[in-house]
Structure 1
Amino acid sequence: MAMSVGESGDDAPMSDINTTPMVDVMLVLLIIFLIAVPVVIQTIDLALPKVQFEPTTTKPENVALSVTGAGGQCQVYWGMTKVSHQELLDRGVEKLKKEIDRQGGINAAGLELPEVHIRGDVNTPYRCIGATIYTMQMAGFVKVGFISEPPPGATTTRM
């Protein structure tokens, strides 16, 4: 590598760019990024299910709810009957008590609690569905699921 000090006798300005400082800065930045990236990217290993949808087994004791948010107002339907959140809580507690009594009490062997299946309109605000979930959990229901419509051509696979 040669260095020109301007003693060639030419009065023309030197047009060579000294790239050594730029290369030094780039190497330092490369080393910093190589060290910093593994520290920033921290992930938790998860095995997510590989199922598009799982068919729901409907039992007579399960509770079917429909939730809409038409006009910004949350509307919850128990079957085909429109209910308020207080009525939903009261009906949920009553339904759960009747089902537990029918199966022989809270300490009965093989007690199977009913589930709540929620059908939510795609345009329903989350607060409506979230309030319904919360209300049913307050009533004592443990399993709350969502009923959805699979995309056209989707197949059911269980793994």
Structure 2
Amino acid sequence: MAMSSGGRADDEPMMDMNTTPLIDVLLVLLIMFIITIPIQSHAVKVDLPQPDNRPQDNIDPQKNKISINAQGQTLWNGSPVDEVTLTQYLDQTVAMSPQPELHFQPDATARYEVVDGVLAIIKRANVTKLGFVGNEQYRGDF
């Protein structure tokens, strides 16, 4: 009772190539290639600016207010700012510990695009303590 494997007779030559030695050789070559790669040892020294942790006069360590008036002008604690300055102020407040509260008060007649743009800047700055001011006056409208 002889066992046949794969349905072929014992006198037929094996037609399949044994790929195990080939894979072994390729793995050895890969390991040798990885070992011979030179390690990157050069570096470029760059003098980075040191952060100024002092809060500026325009930034309150407790709470700050962003308002948008009817003309679409953005105000930081009552003084007009552009998008770049607003981003700088927000980055400085996010770096403070503890992070100060940010109150957002858009005018009811302000354009939606301006309000949405300021909210996008606030979101990109990763502000975590954000509150909307003035919503209580519209409570009966909804």
TM-score (norm 1): 0.44
The higher-RCO structure (CA 8 Å, 6+ apart) is 1
Q: TM-score normalized by structure 2?
A: 0.48
